[in-house]
Amino acid sequence: MLKQSKIAVTVVLGIALLTFISLVVVLPAQTFASEGEAESGIEATSTGADNLEITDFEAMTVIIRRLPNTYFAAVTGFLNPEVQLPATVEIALPEGSHIIWFGEPSEAGPIEADPRFEDPDMRNEDGFDIYTVTLENEHHVQVEYNLFFSPATEAGDGSYILRMEYTPLTDLQAIRFKTNLPIGSEVLDDDVEFYGMNSEGERQYGRTFRDTTAGRMITTNLTYTSPRFQGTPNESRVSDGLVVTVVVMLVGVAGALGIVVIAKKRRTANADNTDK
């Protein structure tokens, strides 16, 4: 009888030990695994673009638009014309940028009638606000935003230096920078390109960079002289931008579509030469 009691006690103690081990080791491990899965799920859904197929731009334009009292920027991304719509794209702005207008500009009609992205998906990454939108009507998207500071500064010799910069998210066949200068200004750089006159009779200048690399900031400076008190705008303040958006948009679309076509022809020619 005593022997049987000892056996029973041993069994009970064994069961208790196994229970203790499962509570201390197995359950915490399962809990950590569940927490890891939950954290992983949250991270995966925090950026809505993760599960979308993003179409890369073929070319871009960056326009620093000067007004009498401020500057603002207009960035346009262009898809290859042969891309089938709808197409989802991503475009980056400096973190915290205030958007003036964001949409699919057409080449005719008032901008108020053009499709506009009212509440686009956005995530913050490496100091950029990255917007994800789907193009349904045009092969390009344009976003206009206010600059944090004046891009133009006065040099010691009385000339002015205007800085333009942008960091594309993907490799590009070409990216063009352009700005307008006050009437009577003179460009001091030898390697700038003349991009014609705007509707106010101001000359537009800039540079084009080809075969650029994703994630690498591209910068270019424009040195010029202007009539007295006209080198920079009178003051820097927020502008609604809509009164000049059509002008910027039309010039940007025509110019960059030409870049896309030229880049495509060059790739075709290179491929033909390789085959030979």
Instruction: List pLDDT tens digits, range 154-208.
Output: 888 889 999 999 999 999 999 999 999 999 999 999 999 999 998 889 999 999 9
Per-residue confidence band for 233, with pLDDT thresholds at 50, 70 and 90: confident
Give yes or no for a contact between 64 and 162, defined as CB atoms under 8 angstroms apart.
yes
Average confidence (pLDDT) over 61-71: 90
Q: Across 100-109, 152-161, 204-213, which has the greatest mean pLDDT?
A: 204-213
Per-residue confidence band for 268, with pLDDT thresholds at 50, 70 and 90: low
| Mean of all residue pLDDT scores within the chain | 76
DSSP string of the chain, one letter each residue = -HHHHHHHHHHHHHHHHHHHHIIIIIHHHHHHHHHHHHHHHHHHHHSGGGGS-BPPPSEEEEEEEE-SS-EEEEEEEE--TTSPSSEEEEEEEETTPPEEEEE---SSS-GGGS-B-SS-EEEEETTEEEEEEEESS-SEEEEEEE-SS-SEEE-TTS-EEEEEEE--SS-EEEEEEEEE--TT-EE--SS-EEEEE-TTS-EEEEEEEEEEPTT--EEEEEEEE-STT-SS-S-------HHHHHHHHHHHHHHHHHHHHHHHHHHHHHHHHHH-
- Give the model's pLDDT for residue 48: 43
- Give the model's pLDDT for residue 69: 83
- Give the model's pLDDT for residue 189: 94
Which of 261 and 195 is assigned the larger pLDDT?
195
Per-residue confidence band for 272, with pLDDT thresholds at 50, 70 and 90: low
Per-residue confidence band for 23, with pLDDT thresholds at 50, 70 and 90: very low
